[in-house]
Amino acid sequence: MFSLSNIDLENLINDRIIRRDIIDDTKGERVIEKVSLTNKKVLIKYGRDAGILNEVKVYENIICAEKDPVPKLLISKKLDNDTRLMVLEWIEGVHPDFSDSNDINLVFSSLGKWAGAWSYRIDNLQKEYEETLPNFKVLHSTLQEYEKTENNCIGKEIINLLNKCLNYSEEVLEVINKSPLTLDPGDISLHNFIIDSSEKVFFIDFESTKVKPMIMLLEHLGEDYESIPHTLTNIRLAMQTFLNDWNKAAKESIGWEEFEYCQLCARVYYKIGKYNYWIKRILQGKNVQETMGWIKNDEHQMQELLEVLDKRYLHY
Ligand SMILES: Nc1ncnc2c1ncn2[C@@H]1O[C@H](COP(=O)(O)OP(=O)(O)OP(=O)(O)O)[C@@H](O)[C@H]1O
Ligand SMILES: [Mg+2]
């Protein structure tokens, strides 16, 4: 774990420090702090993991507070060969409460606007920030590896479900790839939005930013995460709000039915990513009991998802 002394930090940002509060130093390779200076507060983020290096690149080259609802980048410095420091404007506000329809409206409307506006702006970014959507390929090889171990702890039913998913891989990827490209800030969750007192929504955290089909911003809607809208009513509200603002701002507009089917495909893709992670843990012998518990818990959802996909595929 590394840290910056007060004197080093004061020299770097050319200001006097009144107070420092650690926000997160649990990841060994990067630290986040709230820092009070003589006449303002700032957020500093420094480190050398892949996430912060990508985030620095995104702040320096792509996004800017004049055009985008993001904090101002005040200072960006190289601390040594592979360590970077960013000083960002401190945004005073609160994280959204996704059990509240007003907050869902605010955030998903901003997200729709963001995705729509970026559909015009990604032209030169595709190569550098490309996403190759590898989950099905990874599943295929992971299942082969699992079969070789002659281990049957996962159970036939789930393996059959996953093989059924593989049969849909071409269709699912084709549908996802039909949705227009945009800039996906990555990790859509309540922790990565701040709403200020005038109800402006700020996007923070660009560690996983990539150019992706727009539907991928909503790939995890439907999962039981507290950090995203997760009741049926709230998921629908989030999707409708998002699509409404996307259609006002984007190059190409999309109809509701097509959008819903596309989100279903994105969700199947996302789910496969989770199963890949779980099966790999089992293959590595890491917390097998705990991981099996997660799989058992999810099995019902996976089954339902495939049933809906079966129906929609035939209907389409
Ligand atoms: N500019 C800012 N103004 C105010 N608070 C901020 C700002 N940037 C980040 N934060 C706070 O710090 C938290 C962590 O920041 P951020 O999301 O950028 O880091 P992270 O590496 O993604 O951490 P995590 O993995 O916990 O999401 C945010 O959830 C938010 O509460
Ligand atoms: Mg975050």
Q: Which domains does the chain have, with CATH numbers?
A: 6-89 (3.30.200.20), 101-315 (3.90.1200.10)
Q: Is 229 in the pocket of ligand 1 (CB under 6 A)?
A: no
111: helix, strand or coil: helix
Residue whose CA is closest, atom 17 of ligand 1? 205
The pair of structure tokens assigned to 277 is: 């992670």
In a mutational test of the pocket of ligand 1, which residue from 23, 41, 68, 203 has the highest number of ligand atoms less than 8 Å from its CB?
Answer: 23
d(CA 30, CA 129): 22
Stretch (H or E) spanning 79 = strand 73-80
Q: What is the DSSP letter of 190?
A: G
Q: Is 91 in the pocket of ligand 1 (CB under 6 A)?
A: yes
Q: Is 43 in the pocket of ligand 1 (CB under 6 A)?
A: yes
pTM of the model: 0.95
Q: Contact 234/98 with Cβ under 8 angstroms?
A: yes
Atom of ligand 1 nearest to the CA of 89: 1
pLDDT (tens digit, 9 = 90+) per residue, 124-142? 999 999 999 999 999 999 9
pLDDT (tens digit, 9 = 90+) per residue, 250-281? 999 999 999 999 999 999 999 999 999 999 99
d(CA 85, CA 12): 9
Residue 242: CB atoms within 10 Å: 28
For the cut 90, the answer to whether the pLDDT of residue 3 exceeds it is: no
In a mutational test of the pocket of ligand 1, which residue from 191, 225, 228 has the highest number of ligand atoms less than 8 Å from its CB?
Answer: 191
Give the model's confidence band at 151: pLDDT under 50 very low, under 70 low, under 90 confident, else very high. Answer: confident
Q: What is the DSSP letter of 180?
A: P
CA distances from 176 to 67, 171, 193, 228, 277 (A): 28, 9, 25, 21, 21
- Say if strands 201-203 and 193-195 run parallel, antiparallel, or are unpaired: antiparallel
